[in-house]
A and B are shown apart, each in its own frame.
Chain A
Amino acid sequence: MQSMNGVNINLFQFERDLTWMSFFMDSQDRFYARYGGREDDAPESHLTKESLIQTMSRALELHRNGRVQQSRYEPGREPVRAPEDIPTMKALLAPRKDNNCIHCHDVKVAELKHLQQLGRFARDLVFTYPAPSAVGIRLDADAQNNVRAVTRNSPAQRAGIREGDILLSADGQRISTFADFTRVLELTPSESALPLEIKRGDQVIRASLELAGSWRRTSDPSWRESLHVAGPNAGFWGQKLAGEERKKLGLPLGKMAVLVTFIWGDYTREAGLKKDDVVIQFDGLTQDMTIPQLHAHLNLNRNYGDRIPLTVRRGGKDHELILSLPRERPKGE
């Protein structure tokens, strides 16, 4: 088990919801490249053997030429700040048996809870280190500064970026990898124009991503461990039913079918939900969802005290239930 205990979190800034991240550096706390990160749809979307080899080769070349990153996106070692310095960290760790082990996501959770205590929390703060797809760019998994696709009607398409373009820099920060670009996006204000330098064939051209609104909000953030800080949960866990099991119950493919495996919320039991129920409608939603997606929906869209309608299939019959969420966050959550 690895831990974040004692790590200088001012120097090592990255998406804390990730379970793996890396940095290529020199001996003076300066960075050549960042390597890691993911799109919503796959945890290892940009962790490939080929991309690691390419990034290592690039880091060696940069090291040989002394080309550390030099821009406003580069953190310094000072002031040193450890996870233990976050005011809410002690309370977060207290209930644990292994309470001296700080996980990566604990750092983010503690910081978000601290902001809640200060009254400065907003749900959008969960969406840290937005992936390039947030601005309409799909980067290649292997050659990670190559644009593999551009989303229609996105800031990237409006900026004229095309498939096959190579991202050289964003606001002066060199882009060698997916993670290099997410670092820039992390520090890019919601309303801004982000200048890009692009190689297209033999030409180097300039473009500007015009960003506004909630572009940081990606479509499926359910993988983010810190999401539970943002709002209430449903008080139960479960699993999406596979095709064969659906057939037996007469449930269609492509629609919601979540088998309840564990209930922890008193409010959930009071609603009448039981283990082995199959949830087929939740808060008006009927599309096929995983249990993390179902929780993410509540975390981001509902408030404590809300009443959530759901339908479960039990013993071949459908039952309508109302889940009355607790009026305030339960202690310890």
Chain B
Amino acid sequence: MNRKSYYILFIASPMLLVSIFATGTEEVETKPISVTGKIHWIFGYDQGQKLARETGKPMWVVFRCER
């Protein structure tokens, strides 16, 4: 897998918030929160997938072709 093929962003901060406040409730509204820190992108799907398995978080996989 080419490491430059993907940007993968784990929606770390909001996901953590959801994990804490959503426990035991089905209909908790998920509101976005500001991301003030540096976004941690991962360049490689397999690597991102491994981290998603370990953390239980979803992935945002971005393809950006520059001509």
Interface size class of B (residues with CB under 8 A): 20 to 34
B-contacting residues, A1-49, CB 8 Å: 1-8, 12, 14, 18-27, 29, 32
Interface residues of B in 28-67 (CB under 8 A from A): 30-32, 45, 49, 52-53, 56-67
Q: Is the interface of B mostly helix, strand, loop or mixed?
A: loop
Q: Is the beta-carbon distance between B59 and A20 smaller than 8 angstroms? A: no
Q: Is A199 an interface residue (CB 8 A)?
A: no
Closest 3 CB pairs of A and B: A27-B52, A104-B65, A5-B2
Taken together as a complex, chains A and B put the C-alpha atoms of A6 and B6 apart, in Å, by 11
Contact yes or no, B11 A103, CB < 8 A? no
Q: Are B66 and A1 in contact (CB under 8 A)?
A: yes
Residues of B within 8 A of A6 (CB): 1-2, 5
Question: Interface residues, chain B, CB within 8 Å of chain A?
Answer: 1-2, 4-7, 11, 14-15, 18, 22, 26, 30-32, 45, 49, 52-53, 56-67
Is A61 among interface residues, defined by CB-CB distance under 8 A?
Answer: yes
Question: Does B2 lie within 8 Å of A25, measured CB to CB?
Answer: no
B58:A25 contact, CB within 8 angstroms: yes
Also in contact, A3 and B5, with CB within 8 A (given A27-B49, A64-B18, A64-B30): yes
> A4 with B59: in contact, given A19-B64, A60-B14, A65-B26 (CB under 8 Å)?
no
Does A86 touch B at the CB level, under 8 Å? no
Interface centre among A4, A6, A60 (most CB of B within 10 A): A60
A12 to B57, CA, bound (A): 20
List residues of chain A with CB within 8 A of the CB of B6: 7
A5 touches B64 (CB 8 A): no
Query: Chain A residues with Cβ under 8 A from B4's Cβ?
Result: 1-3, 5
Who on chain B is nearest to A36 by CB? Answer: B63
Residues of B within 8 A of A322 (CB): none
Residue total for A at the interface (Cβ-Cβ under 8 A): 35
Contacts of B2 in A (CB 8 A): 3, 5-7
A57 located at the interface, meaning its Cβ lies under 8 Å from any Cβ of chain B in the complex: yes
A162 part of interface (Cβ distance < 8 Å): no
A5 to B63, CA, bound (A): 12
Partner of B60, one of A2, A22, A65: A22
Chain A residue numbers with a CB within 8 Å of B30 are: 57, 60-61, 64
Tell me the bound Cα distance from A221 to B6 in angstroms: 27
B65 near A7 with CB under 8 A, answer no
Query: Cβ of A53 < 8 Å from any Cβ of B?
Result: yes
Task: Report chain B residues within 8 Å CB of A7.
Answer: 1-2, 5-6, 45, 63
Tell whether, in the assembled complex, residue B60 and residue A56 are in contact, meaning their CB atoms are under 8 Å apart: yes
A60 with B15: CB separation less than 8 A:
yes
Chain A residues positioned under 8 Å from B32 (CB to CB): 53, 56-57
A22 touches B14 (CB 8 A): no
Of A4, A12, A19, A32, the contact of B67 (CB 8 Å cutoff):
A19
